[in-house]
Amino acid sequence: MKRALVLLVSLAALAAAAFAVLQATKPAPYVRLVYPLRYEHIVQAHARNYRLDPALLAAVIYQESRFRPRAESPSGAIGLMQLLPATAQGIAVRTGGTRFRVDDLYDPELNVRYGSWYLRHLLDKYGEERMALAAYNAGQANVDRWRREGGGIRFTETRHYVDQVLENRGLYARAYAAKLG
């Protein structure tokens, strides 16, 4: 009994060490397991159409919804790219849509199209990824105020969001180079 317990504890320690190594090195097979890529044709098409890095687009989708098209946030954001209905309606109007419905945001194709347009808009407006991603997370009004006041990203949650998206972009670029390249 004592020998079995020692063996069990040793195996648990070995498994924990292996998991720690995987976390630290994040080899491509591990990344593909933990960071899925779904809707890759939609991601590729809209990344190309809106001049976005497909790995960045995939990283935003992962951070926002973990690639779940029916994801909903407590603030009312919907779908893969977690768009607020009012934001999406404005995008629909700006891109020639005439019959926007909130249910459209559950459609991966439309959600990623609107989210890609919005991300491109923010990149063009702010001229740098960190502030564009901060605006995607915290809103343009907050980022505009931070810039007027001469500061950086003021919300801890938003700084973490930006750091995570950028880290995940590197993971997606490496693990899915053939699909996103």
Give dist(CA 167, CA 35) in Å, integer: 12
In degrees and rounded to multiples of 5, residue 127 shows phi and psi of 75, 5
Closest CA to 123 of 47, 67, 72, 27: 47
Of 40, 64, 128, 149, the catalytic one is: 64
- What's the count of helices (H) and strands (E) in the chain, helices before strands? 10, 0
Catalytic residue status for 72: no
In Å, what is the CA distance from 106 to each residue of 47, 63, 80, 110?
19, 17, 8, 8
Closest CA to 147 of 128, 161, 163: 128
CA 125 to chain centre: 19
3-state class of 83 per DSSP? strand
Residues 111 and 83: beta-carbon distance below 8 Å: yes
> To 5 degrees, how large is the angle CA 121–CA 127–CA 129?
85
Catalytically active residues, by annotation: 64
